[in-house]
Amino acid sequence: MNMKPSLDELFERRITYPDFEPQQRLARLVGLDDQKDRLTKILGMLVNPSGLAGWVEKHHPHATSMLETVLRRPPLVVLAGDVGSGKTELAETIGDAVARQEGIDITLYPLSLSSRGQGRVGEMTQLISAAFDYTVEAAQKLKSASGKSRGAVILLVDEADALAQSRENAQMHHEDRAGVNAFIRGIDRIANSRLPAAVIMCTNRLNALDPAVRRRAAEVLSFNRPTDEQRRFIFTSQLAPLGLASALIDKLVELTGPRPGDVPGFTFSDINQRLIPSIVLAAYPDKPVDARIAILTAQNMSPTPPFQDRSQ
């Protein structure tokens, strides 16, 4: 493979923020307020350091050494957790919150899994290097001498363990090792150039990531299945307007929690994408949603099985 892949080959789509559609999607991610807030702050600091500098000047004018320490954090955030926990949806929409917070335009580059290549010697390394080339090229145009970014770029790597698995694995192919090396070089390249860019990695298998990649993460945010409180909030916000009583909400919270036999509770996507639509469909188009329909639907639905991390 001699030719550098095109932008469209590496990134099947690009998302620009702020934008109303991702803003709505982000708002629908209920129960993840802590992750939303922290990720917005972290990315804001990484892609627009002048914002943090302004905060220090206003509140802690003598803390310049602290400012340098915070700003030297690598431009990488890892989102790790079970399937259906909202990692990818948050990664694809958080740029809107960051853009609005920092007052800049942000472009998301979601790296396609096709970037793993076809296994030809040197191909995966070249694809990963090219992805960082495009990210760096775009970010360089947005860097400002004044420190205030004119915009920013976020590189999203979903199913990151497929691209950055541990090189300590004895069965790992040489080409995969070279690809991980290229990935690490790309992260260091953004960091050393102090560019308005960041990398978000999503994975179900945190332990499968290469240790050098994990060490470079400014933050690792964990995602779990929703708690009783989070499930109650979802059901109350979505189903209470249908006239369903609080006692029914409590029953749905119970039915979607952990079950006997070590069966885990429902994931966020189980509730939002499967259960609630199924409750509506069970009543549509001839009758209203009632307690019997809601309970039977929940009882007959099984949660998504947990991801089995064979690397542990």
User: Of the candidates 170, 194, 223, which is a domain's last residue?
Assistant: 223
The answer to whether residues 157 and 117 belong to one domain is: yes
User: Of the candidates 223, 255, 285, which is a domain's last residue?
Assistant: 223
The answer to whether residues 50 and 193 belong to one domain is: yes
Give domain status of residue 101, yes or no.
yes
C-alpha span between 160 and 200 (Å, rounded): 9
The answer to whether residues 218 and 244 belong to one domain is: no
The answer to whether residues 193 and 270 belong to one domain is: no
The answer to whether residues 34 and 63 belong to one domain is: yes
Give the pLDDT of residue 174. 64
Give domain status of residue 2, yes or no.
no
The answer to whether residues 87 and 219 belong to one domain is: yes
Give domain status of residue 307, yes or no.
no
Residue range(s) defining the domain that contains residue 291: 228-299
233 torsion bin: left (phi>0), alpha (psi -120 to 50), beta (else): alpha
Could you give the number of structural domains in the chain?
2
Tell me the helices (H) and strands (E) count for the chain, helix number first.
14, 6
Give domain status of residue 305, yes or no.
no
The answer to whether residues 135 and 219 belong to one domain is: yes
Return the SS3 of 35: helix
Tokens of 209: 């990531």
Query: Contact, 45 vs 51, CB < 8 A?
Result: yes
pTM: 0.85
- Nearest alpha-carbon partner for 305 in 278, 272, 266, 257: 266
Give domain status of residue 267, yes or no.
yes
User: Consecutive sets of 10 residues in the chain, 312 residues long: mean pLDDT of each?
Assistant: 75 92 91 93 92 90 86 92 90 97 95 59 77 94 82 92 66 70 92 94 88 92 92 92 93 94 90 95 95 95 79 48
The answer to whether residues 118 and 253 belong to one domain is: no
Give domain status of residue 304, yes or no.
no
Question: CB count, 10 Å around CB of 28?
Answer: 12
The answer to whether residues 185 and 274 belong to one domain is: no
The answer to whether residues 210 and 76 belong to one domain is: yes
The answer to whether residues 190 and 128 belong to one domain is: yes
Find the CATH number of the domain harbouring 101: 3.40.50.300
Give domain status of residue 210, yes or no.
yes
Give domain status of residue 152, yes or no.
yes
Give the pLDDT of residue 170. 54
The answer to whether residues 15 and 112 belong to one domain is: yes
C-alpha span between 114 and 204 (Å, rounded): 19
User: Of the candidates 204, 223, 242, which is a domain's last residue?
Assistant: 223
C-alpha span between 13 and 60 (Å, rounded): 41
182 torsion bin: left (phi>0), alpha (psi -120 to 50), beta (else): alpha
